[in-house]
Structure 1
Amino acid sequence: MTLEELKYPIGKAEIPEIITKKNIEDWISLLERFPHELEFLVRELSENQLDVPYREGGWTIRQVIHHCYDSHHNSYLRFKWALTEENPIIKAYNEENWAELHDSKTAPILLSLDALKALHAKWVYLIQGLSEVELNKTFIHPESNKEISLKENIGLYAWHCRHHYHHIEQLLIRKNWKQ
């Protein structure tokens, strides 16, 4: 596999210009399933296996799992800001530095898996209750200075779930660890 294929096993995020109700339903379904599918994927891994990077120079499986919680928690907060403020500039975070923190490198993965289950249940509940007007609310990401709608963000995070799931799954296949 090329480095690009290892970095982006499902390709880069592609959000359609016109987001349909079906897109949103599919993305919500993916957000709802992700924590359980991720837990199922990694449930049998040993502590040593969790500390193997998914690619040379990449994060370990453990770091990827903790990153998913950190990233999705930040996204959930962005939803709240966009729903309660007028086009807010959100707070970015340095995901590379967060992944190097003690908890990301050593904490039991169940902490983040359990947190992801609760977070995604609450996040999906929030999203399912949004009107079309609310789904079109936006925030501004300070790094790109781009306006992002909540609709787009649902798609981005559905992609993010699949992206990191496949990082781990591809490693398990390459190492012959997948049941």
Structure 2
Amino acid sequence: MTTEALQKLKYPIGTFKKPELITQDHITSWINDIEQLPSTLEALTKNLTKEELNWVYRPDGWTIKQVVHHCGDSHLNSIIRFKLALTEDAPIIKPYLENRWAELPDSTDDDLSNSITLLKGIHSKLTKLLKSLNNEELKREFIHPEHGKRFSLEETIGIYAWHSNHHTAHIKQALAHKGEF
């Protein structure tokens, strides 16, 4: 498989591209994408067999179940990042080693119900929080030490909307290819 083909499998919707000017339409659309993730993941995975849950979305990629569990872990971290930025001045957030988290027993469990329930709760709270933000709050920032840069909350909303769609595309890709690459 070519490097280009592997990149397409890794980033089926491309990488996040921050708009030059983030508008209220962007924010509204992104919040909608975030709000829909739990129901989308539940619909995609509710009737999958254990074999199907273990299909990968690309060579050396995560299984479907790891993707779902990862979304729970990642978005749990995201709400904390938003709240830190809203309550502190440019806090330095704590990154985590997502590939190591994906190997832990709760991330390799065939039962997705806890992660789907977690996502429903997180996304309900997160959506309520994000919809309440005013223009000044959207400009608040946190510092991500792994990237060595500041991220505004408005940009971060876009990143998590992209993240939601990115991993939804991974699951659809695994299903379309039946985990075989």
TM-score (norm 2): 0.94
Name the residue aligned to 2:15. 12
**Where does the alignment leave 5 or more consecutive residues of structure 2 unmatched?**
none
Q: CA deviation at 1:17?
A: 2.1
Q: Which residue of 1 aligns with 2:87?
A: 84
Say which of 25, 33, 36 aligns to 1:33.
36
Asked whether the equivalents of residues 55 and 175 of structure 2 are also in contact (C-alpha less than 8 Å), the reply is: no
Taking the TM superposition and a 5 Å limit, the aligned residue runs for 1:24-173 are 24-106=27-109, 108-173=111-176
Superposed displacement of residue 44, structure 1? 1.2
Measured after TM superposition, the shift of residue 174 of structure 1 is 1.8
Cα contact 2:50–2:110 (8 A) shared by 1: no
CA distance in 1, matches of 2:105, 2:56: 16
> Distance between the aligned counterparts of 1:16 and 1:116, measured in 2?
27
C-alpha deviation, 1:64, in angstroms: 0.4
- Cα deviation, 1:10-67, whole Å, max 9, x if unaligned, reads 0011111210000000001111111101110111100121112211101110100000
Structure 1, gaps ≥5 residues long? none
Q: Say if 2:38 and 2:116, in contact at 8 Å, map to a contact too.
A: yes
**For residues 36 and 119 of structure 1, what CA distance do their matches in structure 2 show?**
13
Name the aligned partner's letter for residue 46 of structure 2: R
| Alignment partners' CA distance in 1, 2:170 and 2:35 | 19
Spell out structure 1 runs of 4+ moving beyond 3 A: none
Please tell me the root mean square deviation across aligned C-alpha atoms, in Å.
1.2
Amino acid at match of 2:43: F
In the TM superposition, residue 107 of structure 1 has moved relative to its aligned partner by 5.1
Instruction: Give the TM-score, by structure 1 length.
Output: 0.95
User: Which residue number in structure 2 is paired with residue 21 of structure 1?
Assistant: 24
Q: Read off the aligned partner of 2:160 and give its amino acid letter.
A: Y
Letter of the aligned partner of 2:173 in structure 1? Q
Amino acid at match of 1:113: I
In the alignment, which residue of structure 2 is the partner of 1:3? 6
